[in-house]
Structure 1
Amino acid sequence: MTATRPADFTRPGTSILSRMPQHDATQLTQGGNQALIVLDEQVYQLRITRAGKLILTK
């Protein structure tokens, strides 16, 4: 199965990724390895592992 990309994805400077908000995980955790993120009164935990991976749990 071949996925197709939106037409504007391939044009330089107009890609979907360039228009998305970008956040540094180390800033979210203020130099630590955990942060809480709230969405619609639900609290999620963002954790940076020792291997440098991100885990988001409810």
Structure 2
Amino acid sequence: MTAFEEHPVYDAKDLTKGDTQARIVLDGQVYTLRITKANKLILTK
């Protein structure tokens, strides 16, 4: 088993449900995951 297989894997497009943004909450803080036009990921608080 590789290190990659030891952690959960999520498809960003599944998280955004076909949109370009999703909200992720950690300890009450809300973060925005965004897929750019260049198909890159940006995570901001």
How high is the TM-score relative to the length of structure 1? 0.75
**Larger radius of gyration between Structure 1 and Structure 2:** 1
Matching residue's letter, 1:26: K
RMSD over aligned Cα, in angstroms?
Answer: 0.5
The structure with the greater share of residues assigned to strand is 2
| Percent identity (aligned) | 58
Q: Report deviation, 1:21.
A: 0.1
Unaligned runs of 5+ in 1: 1-13
Unaligned regions of 5+ residues in structure 2, if any?
A: none
Moved over 3 A (4+): none
1:20 match? 7
- For 2:41, the equivalent position in structure 1 comes to 54
Q: How many equivalent pairs are there? A: 45
Q: TM-score, normalised by structure 2?
A: 0.96
